[in-house]
Amino acid sequence: MLIQHIRLADREGLWQIRCQDGVITAVEPHDEHAVAGRVLDGEGGLAIAPFIEPHIHLDTTQTAGEPSWNLSGTLFEGIERWAERKALLTHEDVKQRAIQTLKWQIANGIQFVRTHVDVSDPNLVALKAMLEVREEMKEWVELQIVAFPQEGILSYPNGKALLEEALKLGADVIGAIPHFEFTREYGVESLHYIFDLAEKYQVLVDVHCDEIDDEQSRFIETLATLAYERGIGHRVTASHTTAMHSYNGAYASRLFRLLKMADINFVANPLVNIHLQGRFDTYPKRRGITRVKEMLEANINVCFGHDDVFDPWYPMGTANMLQVLHMGLHVCQIMGYEQINDGLKLISSHSARTLNVQDRYGIEVGKPANMLILPAESGFDAVRRQVPVRYSIRHGKVIAQTRPAQTEIVLGQPEPIDFRR
């Protein structure tokens, strides 16, 4: 395949990309007279590496309103509603919903997904279903599965054994939720336990860490210390860390020194964090999202995820990463021109580092021919206009495409509107 008439984020002018046997063989200046068996016209759009979803719960997706709605919109009522729905889980139910949301993600240009799956279940129903989904969908999307102990490791009966069994069955990543354990001591012990298992089974680590407005919740320092001491920071992710929003400046300054030394990754979930946090505040209300702007300034790897799509905790969403990015740029106050123009990195290259897939990610010769064509001139343009994915290409084949919408106003004479300047 020859993909012509495209723009690249880091280069001027128009370019073309040659692909053979699912691999990128050349990235070269556009040539109108180039010959190839199959030619795809990029229509002057922006070619980028695929979007990545670094944090979602596919086992809970598309359950909003089943059997009843979360009327308060709070975290705690969401937990109650999920407990009702969880009692109805079946193998096929989990598979059907997960695959449907994966199809939404594919349509929106996502080709790599990390899903957290609740293993606080003696039968591991959701995990076993998701392992089948990973295999059945691998041609179109690479799925990483986190063994996530939703109700704790030490605070849930047989929590340790269930977590290890999930790894034996084939989970790619081990999780924890230290701030939800019964005591601080349990939380710390749970982190030591998962690092031991991570080394035993050679899996990645992704912890729901300090997802609370309590400024005294500081498990991130234990997580970062363990990652630093064991030399595996690049394989470790701290998800949420919303308590960091409330840390005092002196503590945060000391903490950031450790975070840089540890070299761990962070995931913020702007859509869900901004709506679930601050619920115990009167006014002013905290935003409750981790310190993304400061992390970027400190060259600490951070990316954005959805967390939830159409479930008891977040009743909205279409699995569109540009919606996530749009919210994140606003609530994190990273709205300078260059910050917006570089914003796509928060849902692409930064996420690739988090998922540890850099060896097979990016528009470079020798890497898999996985990319998106966006109908935009730049990253800034794509984010501002929230453009759809014109083409999603995987292993040199188009797996999703969106035909451009046409808007016209009639103020005397018909006039097309594309929201460009």
For the beta carbon of residue 87, count every other beta carbon within 10 angstroms: 8
**211 given a catalytic annotation:** yes
For the beta carbon of residue 39, count every other beta carbon within 10 angstroms: 13
241 exposed, middle or buried (CB, 10 Å; 0-12, 13-18, 19+)?
Answer: buried
For the beta carbon of residue 246, count every other beta carbon within 10 angstroms: 18
Nearest to 232 by CA among 187, 199, 256, 209: 199
Cα separation, 179 vs 186, whole angstroms: 9
Angle at alpha carbon of residue 348, lines to 113 and 146, rounded to 5°: 25
Cα separation, 209 vs 186, whole angstroms: 14
The answer to whether 24 touches 368, Cβ cutoff 8 Å, is yes
> Is 303 in a helix, a strand, or coil?
strand
Which helix (H) or strand (E) is 44 found in, with range? strand 39-48
Nearest to 363 by CA among 4, 1, 8, 31: 8
Contact residues for 371 (Cβ-Cβ < 8 A; gap 6+)? 3, 17, 47, 48, 49, 50, 363, 393
Residue from 12, 211, 229, 408 carrying the catalytic annotation = 211
Residue corresponding to tokens 């059907």: 96
Strands (E), 133-289: 142-148, 173-174, 204-209, 236-240, 265-268
* Residues designated catalytic: 211
